[in-house]
Structure formats: C-alpha cells, structure tokens
C-alpha cells in the first residue's frame, strides 16, 4: 500500500537534510497553509465559536486526512488477519502491514526487522523491561543471559524522565534486585553530566533516557550518553516520543540499543507505537507476551518462538493503526524532517518569548541553541509557571480563549519536584502550528494575572 500525502509541501531541494536546520530552511507560508489544510480538526471552533489554537501536540498530535483516509480504506478494502490465511484479502492486509513497518523503519533510520509494533511507547519500554525479567528467570537460554539482572547490577535513568521511562525500571529493579540510579537535572533544565562517570559505571547494565524532555524541551546529549554506556557495556534505551515527530532521527547513527516511540504523537493513530531494537539484541531476547502468531513449533510440552519482530507481536495486531502510522511517517518524510525541525525552531523561539511577560517563568532552557549535528538543543515544548496563579487556572483562562495547553505534572513528577513546583502549564507545537497561533497564546497569557487580580 503506497498511499501518500495529498499535499507535498516539502521542497525536494532539501529532502530532510539534518544539517539544514536553522532559519531559511523552514516551511514557507504557502507550505504551512497547505499542511494545515491537511488537518481537518484544526478547522473547528471551540468555546463559543473561537478558532482552536492547539498547543498540546506533545500530549497528542492531530492527524492529517491522509492518515484518517488510510484507516478507513483499510477497513473498507483490505481488512483481514495478517500473516495467515490463503486468501487475497489476507495477502493485501499483510502487505499493507509490512509496508507500514518498512515506512516507519526508513523514517527512523532502522531496518524493518528491527521495528516491533507495540500499542505505544509505554508498552515498548515495558517490553524491554519484562524481557529482561524473563531473562533473569532463565528464559531465552544462554543467548539471553546478557539481559539477566541481579543484586549489584544498576539501571541508570535521569531525573527528567516521563514516568513511562522511570516506573518500568523501578519495577524491574524490584523484581531482580538491581539498583536504580539517576542522572540529575541542573537548574537550566538540562541533564547535569558532571558526575556521569560515577553514575554510569561497570555496574551499570541499562542506561535509559529521553531524547527530548516532554517538560523542558531540552534535547539530551545522546552521543555522550551512548559513549558512556558503551564504555561500560551497558544497554541504552532511548525514549524517542518527543524527538521522532519533530527532528530528523536516525537510530542507527545515534547508536542506541533500543528506542521507543508512539504513533499518536507523530500524526499517526492512537493504539500503535514501536519498539526499535538492534537486530542481534532482538534475536537474543526472550518473548514477553506469548500466544498466537509469535510461535514456531508448539507441542503440548514446549514451544519454540518465531524470530523477531514477530516473536514480540503475539495475538492479533493493531493492523489498521499500524498502516495509518506508516502513512504518517511517509507524510512527515515527504515534508522533510529538516524543514519540520526548522519550522519548529521558529515556533520554539516564539514560544519562549513568554519569558518577557511579567510574572511568567519558563521551566527549562530559555533559548534555542545549536546542538550536535546542527540540530536544535531544545524543541518547541515550553512549560511555565505564572506567579500567583495555579497552572490549572492558567489553563482554564487560555481555554476560554480557545487555546489548548496542558496543565499538571505532565507525567514527570520527579522533574517538577526538582524545581519545587507541583504543576506547570505547557504549550507545545507541531508541524502545523503557526507563529500567529503562538502570538495569540502570548497575548492571552499576558492577561491571565489581571484576570485573577494578581500584580
């Protein structure tokens, strides 16, 4: 199945060149208008006829028509069980499912066999954690021993993690006797690597970290962390939920062992995401969820398992969603992730101007710099507090103006505790966000303290 975006604003002269990030490479006004026209939901009004200003894309993105159409088309034209059945529909469904895997793999710089469909990123991270659990119990034989953990072993995360990349590791430690350690966050909202060598040591077996913080927008120094993990033979697990929709991501080039990301944050459907694993690791890893579709030979006494990725895809898969996600990846790929990232650098800079509003404080880096590979070192997800007004109340006033932001701890309580705050409001952009929308947001935000009579 090769459904493609109906509009292709990406300029073929700069096809996703990661070094092209910066002013001048961003989407033109016409390209951006074409992109917005692809997203039906962006046309609706809210709260008594106000145009929607959707600044909650870090929670979930909106979907282009081509993704919606693809799901409908799948159900209307080729719905069947995949990887079984001798009929034409089954064949077509299987081809669509595997083409989607190939699209997604190409989009993130991986081989199709290294992409496991999961219900989302949380499931993907848990898959790795439970595979390690099973290896600890002796499952998977000799090859899987490299994943076994015990007392004296350490798992390292960071203080900036989303709960999805923290709690599974806490639980894995509790099941295996391993110890959890973490890299702290500095006052600037970036990882504080000053004690990295004493945190990532010979005892470290896993180093799990987010590529981009869903609170501060800070981009992690992946190369440095991967080098630290490799030096001690630790596995790296990258939470790429907030990077894959916004930056050119090449997982092979990054050199991580595993990566997790969700479909719904990258213009795709809910209910589908992916685990990336280096091929030799997936091959050595014992299964987690067992049942149909993931087996080789089953007798009443014992079962042998299919090679990856099928080994990790037990039961009927989310086929229509996976096919939709493949098209979402194609859509972003055709825009060019270099152009997408450049557009979002502009948005990040515009969002960060809220720091000029009296009483507004940004939690995280206050400007956008250039990181490794010419990529931005912070993205267009900006969390903030308003002096004297609780985040919930901030969000409510913005909502009354049609502006959708997130409020709360954004599934990162330890990071909020680090800054001594219970809750923040968060504005986050995506490829379809305009600087005019960010301007409307800033204007509404400037009136919040007056509404609550705070000076």
Partner 1 sequence: MSSLEQMYQQVILDHAKHPHGRGLVDHGPGDLLQGESHQVNTTCGDEVTLRVAVAPGAAGIGGTVESVTWEGQGCSISQASTSVMTELVTGASLTEAARLDALFHDLMSSRGRGLGDDDEDVLGDATAFTGVSQYPARIKCALLGWAALKDSLVRSGALVSTDGLR
Interaction site with partner 1 (CB under 8 A)? 47-48, 389-393, 396-397, 400, 407-409, 413, 416, 422-423, 451-453
Spatial neighbors of 245 by CB under 8 A, at least 6 apart, are: 57, 61, 265, 266, 267, 332, 430, 431
Sign of the alpha-carbon dihedral angle for 415, 420, 425, 427: negative
Are 209 and 158 a contacting pair, CB within 8 Å? yes
Provide long-range contacts, Cβ within 8 A and 24+ apart, for 165-171: 165/125, 165/208, 165/209, 165/210, 165/237, 165/239, 165/260, 166/414, 168/122, 168/125, 168/126, 168/129, 169/129, 169/206, 169/208, 171/129
CB of 186 to partner 1, least distance (A): 22
Are 22 and 392 a contacting pair, CB within 8 Å? no
Residue 269 pairs with which residues in a beta bridge?
A: none
Instruction: Closer to partner 1 by CB, 5 or 412: give it.
Output: 412
Radius of gyration over every alpha carbon of the chain, rounded to an integer in angstroms = 22
Concerning whether 173 is annotated as a catalytic residue, the answer is no
With H, G, I as helix, E, B as strand and everything else as coil, classify residue 362: strand
Instruction: Closer to partner 1 by CB, 246 or 409: give it.
Output: 409
CB of 246 to partner 1, least distance (A): 25
CB of 453 to partner 1, least distance (A): 7
Instruction: Closer to partner 1 by CB, 374 or 408: give it.
Output: 408
Spatial neighbors of 311 by CB under 8 A, at least 6 apart, are: 282, 285, 287, 294, 305
Instruction: Closer to partner 1 by CB, 78 or 416: give it.
Output: 416
CB of 446 to partner 1, least distance (A): 16
With H, G, I as helix, E, B as strand and everything else as coil, classify residue 338: helix
Are 241 and 260 a contacting pair, CB within 8 Å? yes
Residue 117 pairs with which residues in a beta bridge?
A: 274
CB of 418 to partner 1, least distance (A): 13
CB of 416 to partner 1, least distance (A): 7
CB of 445 to partner 1, least distance (A): 15
Instruction: Closer to partner 1 by CB, 211 or 409: give it.
Output: 409
136-152 residues labelled b (16+ CB within 10 A) or e (exposed): beebbeeebebbbbeee
Instruction: Closer to partner 1 by CB, 359 or 373: give it.
Output: 359
Instruction: Closer to partner 1 by CB, 225 or 389: give it.
Output: 389
- CB atoms near residue 338 (< 10 Å): 25
Q: Which of these is catalytic: 34, 37, 223, 411?
A: 411
CB of 438 to partner 1, least distance (A): 22
> Helices 88-107 and 319-335, interaxial angle, to 10°?
40
Q: Is the peptide bond preceding residue 309 cis, with omega within 30 degrees of 0? A: yes
Q: How many CA atoms lie within 13 A of 247 on its CB side?
A: 29
H or E stretch covering 183: strand 179-183
CB of 191 to partner 1, least distance (A): 23
With H, G, I as helix, E, B as strand and everything else as coil, classify residue 172: helix
Instruction: Closer to partner 1 by CB, 47 or 231: give it.
Output: 47
Instruction: Closer to partner 1 by CB, 345 or 415: give it.
Output: 415
Task: Give the residue numbers annotated as catalytic, written as ranges.
Answer: 411
């Amino acid at each position: 199945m090769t459904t493609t975006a109906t509009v292709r604003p990406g300029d073929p002269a700069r096809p996703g060149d990661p070094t092209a990030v910066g002013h001048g490479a961003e989407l033109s006004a016409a390209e951006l208008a074409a992109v917005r026209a692809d997203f039906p939901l962006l046309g609706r009004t809210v709260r008594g006829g106000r145009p929607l200003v959707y600044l909650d894309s870090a929670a979930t993105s909106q979907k282009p028509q081509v993704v919606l159409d693809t799901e409908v088309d799948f159900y209307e034209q080729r719905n069947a069980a995949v990887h079984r059945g001798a009929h034409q529909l089954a064949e077509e469904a299987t081809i669509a499912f595997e083409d989607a895997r190939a699209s997604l793999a190409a989009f993130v710089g991986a081989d199709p066999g290294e992409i496991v469909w999961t219900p989302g990123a949380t499931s993907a991270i848990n898959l790795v954690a439970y595979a390690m659990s099973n290896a600890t119990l002796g499952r998977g034989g000799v090859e899987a021993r490299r994943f076994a953990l015990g007392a004296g072993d350490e798992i390292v995360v960071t203080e900036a993690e989303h709960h999805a990349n923290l709690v599974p590791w806490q639980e894995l430690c509790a099941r295996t006797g391993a110890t959890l350690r973490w890299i702290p966050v500095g006052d600037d909202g970036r990882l504080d690597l000053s004690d990295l060598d004493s945190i990532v040591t010979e005892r470290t077996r896993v180093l799990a970290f987010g590529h981009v913080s869903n609170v501060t927008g800070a981009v992690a120094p992946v190369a440095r962390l991967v080098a630290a993990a490799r030096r001690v033979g630790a596995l790296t697990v990258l939470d790429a939920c907030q990077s894959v929709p916004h930056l050119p991501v090449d997982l092979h080039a990054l050199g991580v062992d595993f990566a997790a990301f969700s479909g719904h944050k990258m213009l795709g459907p809910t209910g589908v995401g992916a685990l990336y694993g280096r091929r030799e690791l997936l091959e050595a890893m014992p299964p987690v969820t067992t049942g149909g579709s993931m087996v080789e030979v089953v007798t009443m006494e014992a079962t042998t398992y299919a090679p990856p990725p099928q080994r990790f895809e037990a039961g009927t898969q989310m086929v229509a969603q996976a096919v939709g996600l493949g098209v979402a990846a194609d859509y972003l790929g055709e825009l060019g992730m270099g152009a997408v990232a450049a557009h979002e650098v502009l948005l990040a800079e515009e969002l960060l101007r809220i720091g000029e509003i009296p009483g507004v404080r940004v939690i995280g880096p206050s400007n956008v710099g250039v990181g490794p590979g010419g990529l931005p070192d912070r993205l267009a997800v900006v969390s903030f507090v308003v002096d004297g007004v609780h985040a919930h109340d901030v969000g409510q006033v913005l909502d009354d103006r049609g502006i959708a932001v997130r409020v709360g701890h954004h599934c990162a309580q330890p990071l909020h505790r680090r800054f001594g705050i219970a809750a923040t409001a968060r504005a986050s952009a995506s490829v379809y966000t305009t600087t005019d929308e960010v301007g409307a947001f800033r204007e509404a935000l400037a009136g919040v303290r007056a509404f609550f009579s705070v000076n």
